[in-house]
Structures are given as structure tokens and as C-alpha cells.
Amino acid sequence: MTPRLWAAVALGGLVVALLVAAAVLVPWHRPPAPRADQLAALRDLPAQQVSRGRAFHSALRPGSYGGLLVGLAVALVLGLTPLGSKLVTSVGKPFGDHWVARAVLGGLAVVLVAELVTLPFAAWRHTILVRYGLSTQTWGGWAVDVLKSYAVSAVIAAVALLGFYTVTRLAPRWWWAFGAAGAAALVVLLSFIVPVLVEPVFNKFTPMEPGPLRTELMSLAERDGVPVRDVLVADASRRTRAVNAYVSGLGPTRRIVVYDTLLREAPPAEVASVVAHELGHAKDRDVFTGTLIGALGAAAAVVALYLLGGWGWLLRAAGVDSMGEPRALALMIAVVSVVGLLSSPVQSLVSRRVEARADAHALTLTGDPATFEAMQRRLSTVNLGDPDPPRWEYLYSASHPSTVERMAAARAYARGAR
């Protein structure tokens, strides 16, 4: 068989594996959260809190969706016209037009253009966060975080681009196979190194002081059968008033991380309720599920890009000869951007199902639906959530069940427990 035929077979196999993994590992059955309970919960929330949360999200929407559309437009202009390939070529010329300069510096230049065009929308978002009192950052602190984010992304992208285009040069007919394996391996590697190397770039973590709360959290993890190395406190208050907690890392690097804002805003029982939810992710191996699905998706994307290279009209529009050359990077980004936009509702649905299962786990582990519901009220109040967002936005981008859904789930659990 020809390489293209092998690639088509491999893509079919990867898609089947992806569907099987999603069918088996994603909790498609959600815990009950009757709409009647949701409406009752909405009525129980203070009207001022609901109005403020909705006003906050209304203020965010123009910048959020404007940035999304402008970013997509820039990706399409660079990818579906010769502009992207010319940009890569111009960046490589001062370095003798060497393929490494094209691959790494040219690729980073394409990404940087898209980032700079959408930067005003990110700044707009920051002004909204400051206006509503959710952000505690000055413009200087915000700019430093933006630069840190760019730097981290640039390092990861440079490694990925150098590896990918090395493969395309060494195996011009079979790069899709090695590239798919490399993309999957990179997703797995990032799952391990991000908690250890990337998170400390943005936050300072200190061990929680010995005391009743730390003892309770460690006991909760032990009772749940989730080994954790430590309980850390993140200095989130230097950038936000939002509250949160999470379980980070895999195996020997796993630790419970609690925002210092959560410790200030919530009583210990509610902190334990949030941590119980996060332990549910570890208990049900949600990081493993996300990593596996992400690795299969990344591998499938590389093979699909190779097959798209057979569409002559697409290559001609981008002004390139092959999908495996550095000048085609803008075309790749354009294709990935479109696929990401179209797949967002599916990704959001999967995320909501996973989060709903973690909520059910927290309710079972603590056996305290009243505290769970109180914590959801607090999260919505402090984090300025819209407790019952518009249906279209919920279906397209909501990664978690709404506040009223989570409160309704707690009430349904309480009835079942009784």
C-alpha cells in the first residue's frame, strides 16, 4: 500500500480508538439534577447576586467572542493565503533561510502575530475583571503574566516544531506516522511536567500549616484511597479574588492545592467539600482519561493534516508545495483552529459530564449535601458566576454544570439519602 493509503487506515484506527475511549471512559450518564430543583435553587439565590453575575458575564462576552472571531479570522487569512508562508520565509532569511530558522522562528512568528492581534481583547477582559473586583492585579502584574505565558508557550512550541520538522525532513513520505507518535508522546509528557515545572512559574506554593484542616484533607484523601504527597497553598490572591482548589500531578507528584483565597472566604467544611470534588477527578483517573483522549486526538490530527496535503487547491491557496514544509505551518494552524471551533461543544459536553461525576463523588465521600450546596452558592458569589447561563452559551462553552444544576444535584442526593 502507498503511504497515503496507510495514513488513511491509521486515521480510521485512531478515530475508532478515540470513540471507544470516549465511550468507555467518559461518564455519559449524569447524576440527577431535576430542572424543577434548578429553578427552585435559582429562586433561593439572592436576586442581587444573580443580577451581578449575569451583568459580569454580559460585559465579558463582547471581548471573549470578539477575540475568538478575530483570532480565527487572522488564522484563516495567514493560512489560506500566501501571507503565512511569506511570513515564515521572511523570518528565516536573516539566518540563511535555514530550515531550522523557518521551522522554529517562522512558526513562532505566525503564532505571535495571532497572539498580538488578540491581545487587546485580553486587555479588555482584564479591565472587566478589575471593574467587578475579581482581579487584584495591576497592569504591570498582568503584563508580566502575559509575558510568562508567551515564554512558556514559546518553549513548548519550539521543541514541538523542531521535532516535527526534523521528522518531515528525515522521513518525507512517512512523517505522518512518526509525527503522530511524537504528538501523542508530547501530550503525555506535558501531563507530567506541567504541574512540576509550569505551575510554579505563575504561582508560589507553600505547604499548608499543620492543623485540623490539613489533617482533615489528608484524612479525606486517605479515606478515598487517593494517595497525595502534600497539601499546598497557592498564592492566588496576588492576581484574583476567585476561590478554587485542585489535585495536581500524577503518581508521586500528586498533591492537593488550595487557593489562599478559598481559605479566607470559606469555612473548613466547605473547603473539604471542594477538595472532595477534586479528589473525585483523581479517583476516577480523569487526568488519565483526558491525557489518553488528548494523545489520540493529537495523533489523529497529524495524520489528518498529512492527508489534507493531498488537496492541491488547499496547498495552492496557501502558496506551499507540501504540508510537511515549515512554510505550511500557518495552513496547519488555520485547519486546527477551525476544527477546534467546531469541536468545542463536544469538548464542553465531555467536560461537564466529568465534572458532574466529580460532584457526585464529593457528595458520596462527604455525605454532606447541605455543605456542598452552600459551597456552590459561595463559588457563584465570589467567582461572579452566572448561576443559570443562556442555553446556547452553556451548550457551546460551559466546562462545568451550572450553579443551579449543582445545587439541584445536591438536593436530589439529599432526597435519595433520606
Residues paired with residue 240 on neighbouring β-strands, in sequence order:
135
Q: How many degrees, rounded to 5, is the angle at CA 342 between CA 34 and CA 6?
A: 120
Tens of pLDDT, residue by residue over 295-329, are 999 999 999 999 998 898 999 999 999 898 999 99
Residue 146 has pLDDT above 80, yes or no: yes
Strands (E), 128-186: none
What is d(CA 107, CA 84) in angstroms, rounded to the nearest whole number?
Answer: 9
Can you give the pLDDT at residue 286? 93
Residue 250 has pLDDT above 80, yes or no: no
Can you give the pLDDT at residue 249? 76
Can you give the pLDDT at residue 377? 95
Task: Copy the grid coordinates of residue 68.
Answer: 475568538
Task: Copy the grid coordinates of residue 279.
Answer: 479528589
Would you say the C-alpha torsion 199, 203, 205, 208 has a positive or negative sign?
negative
| 126 among annotated binding-site residues | no
- pLDDT band, residue 147 (cuts 50/70/90): very high
| 361 among annotated binding-site residues | no
Can you give the pLDDT at residue 248? 84
Can you give the pLDDT at residue 95? 87
Judge whether 145 and 201 are in contact, CB under 8 Å: no
Tens of pLDDT, residue by residue over 252-288, are 778 999 999 999 999 999 999 999 999 999 999 998 9
Domain boundaries, the chain: 3-202+285-417
Can you give the pLDDT at residue 383? 94
Q: Which residue has the cell 492537593?
A: 256
| 277 among annotated binding-site residues | yes
What is d(CA 370, CA 318) in angstroms, rounded to the nearest whole number?
Answer: 58
Annotated catalytic residue within 115, 260, 270, 278: 278
Tens of pLDDT, residue by residue over 350-391, are 999 999 999 999 999 999 999 999 999 999 999 999 999 999
Residues paired with residue 256 on neighbouring β-strands, in sequence order:
231, 247
- Sequential DSSP letters for 345-384: HHHHHHHHHHHHHHHHHHHHHH--HHHHHHHHHHHHHHTT
Can you give the pLDDT at residue 200? 86
Residue 199 has pLDDT above 90, yes or no: no
- In the sheet with 245-248, reading across from the earlier edge strand, the strands are 205-207, 231-234, 255-259, 245-248
Give the CA distances from residue 396 to residues 14, 62, 85, 343, 411, in Å, rounded to whole numbers and listed in that order.
25, 16, 32, 9, 26
The number of beta carbons lying within 10 Å of the beta carbon of residue 301 is 20
Can you give the pLDDT at residue 417? 74
- pLDDT band, residue 112 (cuts 50/70/90): very high
Q: Any residues with CB less than 8 A from the CB of 109 and at least 6 apart, and which?
A: 87, 88, 91
Can you give the pLDDT at residue 404? 97
Task: Copy the grid coordinates of residue 152.
Answer: 512558556
| Average pLDDT over every residue of 164-173 | 90
| 359 included as an active-site residue | yes
Residue 1 has pLDDT above 80, yes or no: no
Q: Is 304 strand, coil or helix? A: helix
| Average pLDDT over every residue of 10-35 | 94
Residues of the chain with pLDDT > 90: what percent?
Answer: 84
| 278 included as an active-site residue | yes
Can you give the pLDDT at residue 30? 87
Annotated catalytic residue within 270, 359, 373, 386: 359
Can you give the pLDDT at residue 201? 86
Enter the pTM of the model.
0.92
The rounded Cα 176 to chain-centroid distance in angstroms is 26
* 206: enclosing H helix or E strand: strand 205-207
- Three-state helix/strand/coil letters over 224-260: HCCCCCCEEEECHHHCECCCCEEEECCHHHCEEEEEH
What is d(CA 375, CA 270) in angstroms, rounded to the nearest whole number?
Answer: 5
Tens of pLDDT, residue by residue over 67-84, are 999 999 999 999 999 999
Counting Cβ atoms within 10 Å, is residue 82 exposed (0-12), middle (13-18) or buried (19+)?
middle
Contacts 24+ apart (CB under 8 A), 402-405: 402/38, 403/41, 403/45, 403/376, 403/377, 403/379, 404/38, 404/39, 404/41, 404/42, 404/45, 405/33, 405/38, 405/356
Average pLDDT, whole number, for the chain? 93
Task: Copy the grid coordinates of residue 406.
Answer: 449543582
User: Among 165, 181, 188, which residue's Cα sits nearest to residue 322?
Assistant: 165
Can you give the pLDDT at residue 101? 92
